[in-house]
Structure 1
Amino acid sequence: MANLLKQRNVIAVLILFAIVFPFITNNNYLIHIMTLAFIWIIAVYGLNLLAGYTGYLSLAHAGFFAIGAYSLALLTTKAQMNYWLAFVLALIITSVLGLLIGLISLRTKEHFFAIYTLCVGYIIYLVIDKWDSLTGGVRGLIGIPSPGNIGPIEFNTPVSNYYLVLFFLLFTILVVYRIVHSLSGRTYIAIRNSEDLAQTIGINTTRNKLVVFVISTFFAGLAGALYASFIRFIGPDIGYITITFDLLTYLIVGGIGTLSGPVIGTILLVWVSQQLQFLQDYRMMIFGPILTLLVIFYPRGISGGFIDFRAKRKEKKQNQSNLNQNQQMISAQETSAASNKNG
């Protein structure tokens, strides 16, 4: 049972399920919801890499998501650019803006960083909302083209879009996995645990924080670009702070600072939210107490709770094994002493 709870196994099972999901159901609505969940997971992985592994909570994540979406939309609708070229440029634009903002924002720490990025995210939202001539303002942008063909492969059906987004999700998981299990990943964790201690052992914390911040914005832009071409209509609301809090909720429920947390938390909450659509705004009356209890009893989320459970079980087995060994040694000593006494 403990082996089944390993993050690698959890992710492998979820990936296998995702691959066969369109064959399980022919319902296009369910495929649509799952595709949206995959897009949110990509964005959550970017947030997790920065907040979960480096300890810096960026509240501008929705803003970078919107930058990726609007960059793709503007390049394809107004500049009439090829989809895939626009897609690559959207990621570059998001990453460059992330670099520029990160150079300033990372001069702050802890709650000051969160407050600063909150302001940045709101400014991005205001720019999108008020710049009517470019972004369309509250009207948004419509007619965003679907992903362009790749040779004979077309992306004009729900299933084909599903697998395209799944491909980018698997790419994201692979990249994040390699980062977390590399020297850079251990460096990020060292910064999270104690930035001052990391500096004393020679880690360039400024450079490493900037790199992970740009990577985080890259994934946000990737999710935004996929969202724009999937929905084919975007408005300024996608850059509002509530989107950031939604992503943060997915991360906290799934398990912040874990590899499987973004997948578990996002899919769970997206599906639960869909099942509670009939409650409309009253859904939070259910989500609120559940999230409160989860934070109290499982502060590391569902995935983190499983990891802690496995660690405690392993520790218990190790203590029991040590106790048995000590008892055997005591018994052997007593037997030896009794034998010597009889002799």
Structure 2
Amino acid sequence: MGAFLRKRGWLIGFVLLAVVFPFLSQNDYFLHVLTLAFIWMIAVYGLNLLAGYTGYLSLAHAGFFAIGAYALGLLTVKAGLNYWIALVLACVITSAIGFVVGLVALRTREHFFAIYTLCVGYIIYLVIDKWDSLTGGVRGLIGIPAPAAIGPISFETPLSQYYLILFFLLATIFVMYRIVHSLSGRTFIAIRNSEDLAQTIGISTMKNKLLVFVLSTFFAGLAGALYASFIRFIGPDIGYITIIFDFLTYLLVGGLGTLAGPIVGTFLIVSVSQSLQFLQDYRMLIFGPLLTLLIIFYPRGIAGAYLDFRMKRKAKKKKAVPPKKPSYVRQPQEDSEKKVKEG
């Protein structure tokens, strides 16, 4: 834990800013938007684990996000389960469906995998939209309860839900850090760099790909469940294709395959979108070109560009400092002086 905090100073700054933000701004609307951004960050972290560290771009994560949301809604509204039990079951259900989908999807690669998962995501959306008797169809699902109180701690107010979702986000970041810096994380990166080479050195690529796929769907389901309890109303639109492209935008701007990328990208895009609200439908005329230029000049995203800058600066410092010669190496000047004395 100590090494984690020492190496990730950006996380300390983020936590401090997030904790004191409600005291700096008394605007409930900003608090609402930032809470939603935290939920998106959790979903983007799940997508980043699969696409950024394993190299498999899944376009079905909006569908898994919707599964988590509807699972929690149905378990609490229709089944009457306790919120926390429903939250755990929603993540388990999403992961189980992800396991079944992954068994088939991971037999494909590259753009075939992306196309297959895009079709799966659209099928999930259609099931939610057309299964009126279960999901409510286009009417959606209303009356989803807020998180149940834990002892004296209640989560009925927007401020308490803000800190609850912040807790889940920090837990997600910590788990991601542990995964990425573990042997499994290095295995995922090896698969991303060269799957064929990973197979030749004895790595079970299918097993590891399925593991990371299930983990990524777990976080998508967790984000969806938190979204349902925060908004208290869900409709089939949360599983539509546009949602996954929003997730991808957050990830690409922040930095694919970086720990800070989901936070940086989501916060930046949400902030800019809110700042351009006064332009209404014309805001994309400004936002679109800015996003295009950012991706062209910084293909690794903002966090990736910062990491590249640090690496280049360290390389320059190493070049600027001449290497020290070992003490046992005799200097040429000393050798010449010794020869003169001997002569």
The TM-score range, normalised by the shorter chain, is over 0.9
Q: Write the distance in 1 (CA, Å) between the matches of 2:158 and 2:278.
A: 25
Q: How far is the alpha carbon of 1:282 from its aligned partner? A: 2.3
Q: Which amino acid aligns with 2:60?
A: A
Which position in structure 1 is the counterpart of 2:27?
27
1:244-259 alignment, distance < 5 Å: 244-259=244-259
Number of aligned residues: 331
Q: Which amino acid aligns with 1:238?
A: I
Which position in structure 2 is the counterpart of 1:287?
287
Which position in structure 2 is the counterpart of 1:41?
41
- Point out the more displaced range, 127-136 or 113-122: 127-136
Change in Cα spacing, 1:291 to 1:342, as seen in structure 2 (3 Å) is farther
Q: Write the distance in 2 (CA, Å) between the matches of 1:211 and 1:94.
A: 14
Which position in structure 2 is the counterpart of 1:208?
208
Q: Write the distance in 2 (CA, Å) between the matches of 1:286 and 1:303.
A: 22
Q: Write the distance in 2 (CA, Å) between the matches of 1:232 and 1:112.
A: 36
Q: How far is the alpha carbon of 1:28 from its aligned partner? A: 1.2
1:92-142 deviations in Å (ceiling 9; x for gaps) = 110000000000100000110000000000000111111111111111111
Q: Which amino acid aligns with 1:264?
A: V
Which position in structure 2 is the counterpart of 1:149?
149
1:4-83 alignment, distance < 5 Å: 8-83=8-83
Which position in structure 2 is the counterpart of 1:130?
130
- Give the 4+ runs in structure 1 shifted more than 6 A: 340-343
Q: How far is the alpha carbon of 1:287 from its aligned partner? A: 2.2
RMSD across aligned positions (CA)? 1.6
Q: Write the distance in 1 (CA, Å) between the matches of 2:285 and 2:97.
A: 37
SS in 2 for 1:26: coil
Q: Which amino acid aligns with 2:214?
A: V
- Point out the more displaced range, 24-33 or 88-97: 24-33
Structure 1: state its 5+ residue gaps. Answer: 1-5, 327-331
Q: Write the distance in 1 (CA, Å) between the matches of 2:335 and 2:148.
A: 84
Q: Which amino acid aligns with 2:48?
A: N
Q: Write the distance in 1 (CA, Å) between the matches of 2:280 and 2:235.
A: 21
Q: Write the distance in 2 (CA, Å) between the matches of 1:98 and 1:239.
A: 15
Q: Write the distance in 2 (CA, Å) between the matches of 1:172 and 1:129.
A: 30
Which position in structure 2 is the counterpart of 1:102?
102
Q: Write the distance in 1 (CA, Å) between the matches of 2:324 and 2:89.
A: 63
Which position in structure 2 is the counterpart of 1:242?
242
Q: How far is the alpha carbon of 1:284 from its aligned partner? A: 2.1
SS in 2 for 1:191: helix
Q: How far is the alpha carbon of 1:280 from its aligned partner? A: 2.4
TM-score, normalised to structure 2's length? Answer: 0.93
Q: How far is the alpha carbon of 1:86 from its aligned partner? A: 1.1
Question: Sequence identity, in percent?
Answer: 72
SS in 2 for 1:84: helix
Q: How far is the alpha carbon of 1:337 from its aligned partner? A: 7.9
Change in Cα spacing, 1:14 to 1:155, as seen in structure 2 (3 Å) is same
Which position in structure 1 is the counterpart of 2:184?
184
Q: How far is the alpha carbon of 1:176 from its aligned partner? A: 0.4
SS in 1 for 2:8: helix
Structure 2: state its 5+ residue gaps. Answer: 1-5, 326-330
Which position in structure 1 is the counterpart of 2:116?
116
Q: Write the distance in 2 (CA, Å) between the matches of 1:294 and 1:185.
A: 28
Change in Cα spacing, 1:120 to 1:339, as seen in structure 2 (3 Å) is same
CA contact (8 A) 1:251 1:261 kept: yes
CA contact (8 A) 1:61 1:244 kept: yes
Q: Write the distance in 2 (CA, Å) between the matches of 1:214 and 1:118.
A: 17
SS in 2 for 1:59: coil
TM-score, normalised to structure 1's length? Answer: 0.93
Q: How far is the alpha carbon of 1:283 from its aligned partner? A: 2.3
Q: Write the distance in 2 (CA, Å) between the matches of 1:180 and 1:257.
A: 10
Q: Write the distance in 2 (CA, Å) between the matches of 1:289 and 1:340.
A: 71
CA contact (8 A) 1:131 1:137 kept: yes
1:273-316 deviations in Å (ceiling 9; x for gaps) = 11111222322222222222222211111111000000000111
Change in Cα spacing, 1:271 to 1:263, as seen in structure 2 (3 Å) is same
Q: Which amino acid aligns with 1:236?
A: P
Query: Does structure 1 residue 316 correspond to structure 2 residue 309?
Result: no
CA contact (8 A) 1:7 1:260 kept: no
SS in 1 for 2:206: helix
Which position in structure 1 is the counterpart of 2:303?
303
Which position in structure 2 is the counterpart of 1:91?
91
